[in-house]
């Protein structure tokens, strides 16, 4: 079995996944903010921008990739935790259907933030195991 040089998820390196996820959040926030008077509709973009920038910096400065991806995963965790607001909407009188755009954004943040954060944690574990295996070899 051939050993990978870099962790991959969904066929992407963590750097590429980070750039893609950041871009998704920026575009989602911008698209959902068209015609909206609510500042909070920009939250996905506000979370996505530092993720996107961290991914681009990790690509541009591979020697600092670990730092930039760790910064990105903190914002991914913010996305995940912020997504839990969807449950508040379920318990309110209006429910999710009172503000479907907000609910869909919150649900998207919960799901994608969780997947992104879990993927990054798996990559950190993979990197540590590989580093330890290389040190003992």
* Domain coverage including residue 47: 8-136
Q: What pLDDT score does 5 carry?
A: 82
Distances (CA, A) of 1 to 4, 10, 12: 9, 19, 19
Residue 74 forms part of a structural domain: yes
Q: What predicted TM-score, i.e. pTM, was given to this entire model?
A: 0.89
Q: What φ, ψ does residue 12 adopt, rounded to 5°? A: -120, 150
Residue 1 forms part of a structural domain: no
Residue 21 forms part of a structural domain: yes
* Tally of domains in the chain: 1
Q: Taking residues 10-19, what's their average pLDDT?
A: 96
Residue 45 forms part of a structural domain: yes
Per residue in 70-118, pLDDT (tens digit) is 999 999 999 999 999 888 766 666 555 567 888 899 999 999 999 999 9
Higher pLDDT, 136 or 80: 80
CB 89 within 8 A of CB 95: yes
């Amino acid at each position: 079995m051939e050993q990978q040089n870099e962790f991959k998820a969904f066929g992407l390196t963590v750097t590429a996944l980070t750039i893609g996820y950041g871009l998704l959040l920026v575009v989602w926030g911008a698209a959902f903010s068209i015609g909206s008077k609510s500042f909070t509709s920009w939250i996905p973009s506000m979370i996505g921008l530092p993720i996107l920038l961290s991914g681009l910096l990790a690509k541009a400065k591979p020697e600092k990739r670990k730092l930039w991806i760790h910064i990105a995963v903190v914002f991914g965790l913010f996305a995940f935790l912020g997504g839990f607001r969807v449950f508040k909407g379920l318990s309110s009188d209006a429910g999710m259907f009172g503000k479907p755009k907000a609910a869909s954004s919150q649900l998207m943040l919960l799901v994608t933030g969780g997947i992104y954060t879990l993927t990054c944690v798996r990559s950190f574990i993979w990197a540590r195991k590989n580093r330890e295996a290389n040190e003992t070899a």
